[in-house]
């Protein structure tokens, strides 16, 4: 399954792949793409597609998937920094659809809690304009 995540921080976006381990656990994976907040939504959507196409399945468990390695890859010093003034959504492809799921930021103790009832589904063959509209709408649903 192709998956990606988008984080929105105060001054930038962060997009990355989500891969699946041999035991089915989802893990953050390369590429880690940082973009200024003034970027056009279409450009951000293009990076989401790139990240989704880089997601993998059956990633070896021996690979370092620790929070520390993730934070280092995205230039954050502490786990708490991931939740400071940020929102997050997940995008995945299933049955020829892109599914966008917003989340609520529960902070360090609650993590990002997904809101599957507010998901947005579009065709995986949609134009970049439709994809960027779905992404923008999903991000507006995040808290």
pLDDT digits (tens, 9 = 90+) for 49-97: 999 999 999 988 766 667 888 888 898 998 899 998 899 999 999 999 9
- At 63 the pLDDT is 65
Pairing of the two strands 87-94 and 3-8:
antiparallel
Q: For the chain, what is the domain count?
A: 1
- At 50 the pLDDT is 97
The stretches of 18-90 forming alpha helices (DSSP H) are 41-54, 67-73
Determine how many CB atoms are found less than 10 A away from the CB of residue 81.
Answer: 15
The CATH code of the domain that includes 127 is 3.40.1590.10
pTM for the complete prediction? 0.93
Which DSSP category does 21 fall into? B
In the structure, what pLDDT confidence band is assigned to residue 135 with cuts at 50, 70 and 90? Answer: very high
**Which structural domain, as residue segments, surrounds residue 14?**
3-141
Q: How many CA atoms lie within 13 A of 94 on its CB side?
A: 11
Closest to 102 (Cα-Cα) out of 51, 52, 141, 134 = 141
């Amino acid at each position: 399954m192709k998956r990606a995540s988008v984080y929105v921080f105060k001054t930038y976006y962060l997009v990355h792949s989500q891969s699946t381990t041999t035991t089915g656990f989802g893990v953050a994976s390369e590429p880690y793409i940082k973009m200024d907040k003034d970027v056009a939504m279409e450009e951000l959507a293009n990076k989401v597609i790139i990240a989704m196409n880089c997601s993998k399945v059956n990633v070896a468990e021996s690979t370092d998937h620790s929070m520390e390695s993730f934070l280092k890859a995205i230039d954050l010093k502490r786990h708490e920094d991931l939740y400071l003034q940020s929102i997050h959504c997940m995008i995945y492809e299933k049955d020829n659809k892109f599914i966008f799921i917003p989340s609520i930021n529960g902070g360090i103790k609650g993590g990002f809690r997904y809101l599957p009832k507010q998901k947005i589904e579009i065709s995986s063959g949609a134009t970049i304009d439709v994809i960027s509209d779905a992404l923008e709408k999903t991000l507006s649903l995040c808290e």
